[in-house]
Copies of this chain bind each other. A is one copy, B any other.
Amino acid sequence: MEVANKHVTLKTHIEGAPKESDFELKTSPLSLLLYPGSGEMIVKNLYVSIDPYQLNRMRSYSLSQKTGTGFEGISLGEEIEAYGVAKVVASDNVEFEKGDVVVGVVTWAEYSKVRRNGMIRKLDPLGFPLSYHLGILGYSGLTAYAGFFEICKPKRGEKVFVSTAAGSVGNLVGQFAKLHGCYVVGCAGSKQKVQLLKEKLGFDEAFNYREETDLNSTLKRYFPDGIDIYFDNVGAEMQEAAVANMNTFGRVAVSGVISECIDPGKRAAPNMLQIIHKRIKIQGFLAVDHIGLFQDFVSTTSNHLRSGELCPLEDISDGLGSIPFAFTGLFRGDNIGKKIVKIAEE
């Protein structure tokens, strides 16, 4: 038993922003017969997640990263790891059997081989579409939840600023912040996104950063009483402007630095004297460190989804072949909400 397995891989390591020509679609034979005792399984991918953090692993300099850090570089031709929802088609792992729906680390491929200790678990969809478990009920959701509640420690009434607010994480930070009783302003890169934030997601205000020439005064206009919390998905000059407009004891949760990823010459150089005087905290974080919150997060978020207080925002493309366009689109700002590629029907 063997399938011709299509997968997306790197044709060249990426410099600056990714281009579609950096990727190629390859087909390799994959045996569905597993070596007894291997503990491996083969899954058929249904949905895969498209995330900006994956870019860093596609840089040639990441090849020198130690393995086990989660930031190791991807070799040319190698399968590209990604979160996904999949169905088990063959299993030598006693904990899984054929037909199980699973979620965890798979690859950008039609089929993925999952090793004995692969980061994967059986998925109870809880009555929601499977794709939700890659976004609002998955790592994007946990990033927003842990970053906002654990790193920012918000108080009711505080003023919250979110960048890439129509992105997979940003839109949820804003929605969590509203549910928590905060004043929330988001920025995004198009009129359509701004409208969505205000009209559909309940942000108090939103603006299109591409239309602003002086971010410092833009933020002063939206935050006449200052910013208490900045959830940073972009880095660079937006972070500097946020720090300049921050109140004492303000907190910056650094979740992403998309503008620094695209242009490595860009760097946030926030005013350190203000950081001292205003006792500002700038904290980088990863959702994985807050995995202990996962049950809390899923139960809170599910309840909000059922009551209609949280709005899932998904942007789903169709077919493995759409991955390069979908991934490069993250850095053009194409996506609205969580970017997902559907690989196959359930």
- Listed in ascending order, the chain A residues whose CB lies under 8 Å from chain B are 56, 69, 71, 232, 235, 239, 254-257, 260-261, 267-286, 289
Residues of B within 8 A of A275 (CB): 254, 282, 284
Contact among B71, B235, B272, B279 for A277, CB-based, below 8 A: B71
Write 30 A-B pairs (CB below 8 A) sorted by A numbering.
Answer: A56-B273, A56-B277, A71-B277, A232-B272, A235-B272, A254-B272, A254-B275, A254-B276, A255-B276, A256-B276, A257-B273, A257-B276, A267-B269, A267-B272, A268-B270, A268-B272, A272-B284, A274-B284, A275-B282, A275-B284, A276-B284, A276-B286, A277-B284, A277-B286, A279-B283, A279-B286, A280-B284, A281-B281, A281-B284, A282-B282
- A-B pairs with lowest CB-CB distance, top 5: A275-B284, A267-B269, A269-B269, A276-B284, A282-B282
Closest partner residue, chain B, to A70 (CB atom): B277
Q: Is the CB of B272 within 8 A of A279?
A: no
Q: Which of A69, A232, A273, A289 lies at the interface centre, i.e. has the most chain B CB atoms within 10 A of its CB?
A: A273
Known A267-B269, A279-B286; further 10 A-B contacts with Cβ < 8 A = A56-B273, A235-B272, A261-B273, A267-B270, A267-B272, A275-B282, A278-B284, A280-B283, A281-B281, A281-B282
Residues of B within 8 A of A260 (CB): 272-273
Residues of B within 8 A of A272 (CB): 232, 235, 239, 254, 257, 260, 267-268, 284
A285-B276 CB under 8 A given contacts A269-B269, A271-B267 = yes
Q: Is the CB of B271 within 8 A of A279?
A: no
Residues of B within 8 A of A279 (CB): 283-286, 289
Residues of B within 8 A of A269 (CB): 267-269
Closest partner residue, chain B, to A285 (CB atom): B279
Tell me the minimal C-beta distance from A283 to chain B in angstroms. 5
Cα distance, A95 to B285, chains bound together (Å):
50
Closest partner residue, chain B, to A286 (CB atom): B279
Residues of B within 8 A of A235 (CB): 272
Cα distance, A284 to B251, chains bound together (Å):
11
Tell me the minimal C-beta distance from A297 to chain B in angstroms. 18
Cα distance, A28 to B341, chains bound together (Å):
78
Cα distance, A59 to B283, chains bound together (Å):
30
Residues of B within 8 A of A274 (CB): 284
Tell me the minimal C-beta distance from A112 to chain B in angstroms. 25
Residues of B within 8 A of A232 (CB): 272
Residues of B within 8 A of A273 (CB): 56, 257, 260-261
